[in-house]
Amino acid sequence: MSFKIKNLVLSGVLLGLTLLFSSIFHMTGIDGTIFSPMHLPVLLAGFIVGPFWGLLVGILAPVLNLIVSGMPSVPIVFVMMLELGIYGLLAGVFFNFLKITILPSLVFSMIIGRLAGGAFSYLLGQLFGFELGFTTFLKAAFIYAWPAIIIQIILVPILVKAYYRNSNISVRYI
């Protein structure tokens, strides 16, 4: 892995966007579960700066948001660290290494990340005795969050294509 300042800067910008989007949602009182404001920048990180930086942005976003705004609450922050970390990691692996096109990479990343988050929430609930079950998490992740899913499926391909079209990077499998 070669370290590039450009990747660090882009990751910082995308991490900053998770804070900005979450703050806007918290200030306006819009439920973050429905629109998942941190998810879009994390997914973009995986596609644009690759799996390592996508994983890092995905893990750091919930932690920094907790520090800045108090949300997501503990223990949800741990579930989101895993879920978003997987989003960023897998979007980068599928797209940048396996050369899978944007939409399947996006959908696979979102499904696997949500399933992992559900499994981890179940595990945490069992270990620490709180009501954080697999089906409860999946209901929130797939049913309540359907607006976020639609927004991500529409915006991520558009933004990734726009980024690569306006950069010096040639990607033929978009």
The residue-averaged pLDDT of 127-144 equals 77
Q: Could you report the per-residue pLDDT of 111-120, keeping only the tens digit for each?
A: 999 999 988 9
Q: How far apart are CA 95 and CA 20, in angstroms?
A: 26
Q: How far apart are CA 51 and CA 73, in angstroms?
A: 26
Question: What does the pLDDT read at residue 145?
Answer: 87
| pLDDT: which is higher, 135 or 145 | 145
Q: How far apart are CA 111 and CA 142, in angstroms?
A: 9
| pLDDT: which is higher, 59 or 142 | 59
Neighbours of 108 (CB within 10 A): 16
Domains, the chain, ordered by start: 1-167 (1.10.1760.20)
Percent of the chain with pLDDT over 90: 63
The residue-averaged pLDDT of 54-74 equals 94
pLDDT-based confidence at residue 172 (cuts at 50, 70, 90) = low
Question: Is the entire prediction scored with pTM above 0.85?
Answer: yes
Name 51's Cβ contacts closer than 8 Å, sequence gap at least 6: 88, 89, 90, 91, 92, 93, 96, 97
C-alpha pair distances (Å), 128 with each of 42, 105, 122, 125, 147: 28, 34, 10, 5, 31
User: Is the separation of the CB atoms in 36 and 21 below 8 Å?
Assistant: no
Question: What does the pLDDT read at residue 174?
Answer: 60
What would the DSSP string read from start to end of 96-130?
A: IIS---HHHHHHHHHHHHHHHHHHHHHHHHHHHT-
pLDDT-based confidence at residue 139 (cuts at 50, 70, 90) = confident
Question: What does the pLDDT read at residue 133?
Answer: 67
Question: What does the pLDDT read at residue 2?
Answer: 60
Residue 127 has pLDDT above 90, yes or no: no
Most confident of 31-35, 126-130, 139-143, 162-166: 162-166
pLDDT-based confidence at residue 8 (cuts at 50, 70, 90) = very high
CA angle at residue 41 from 107 to 111, to 5 degrees? 20
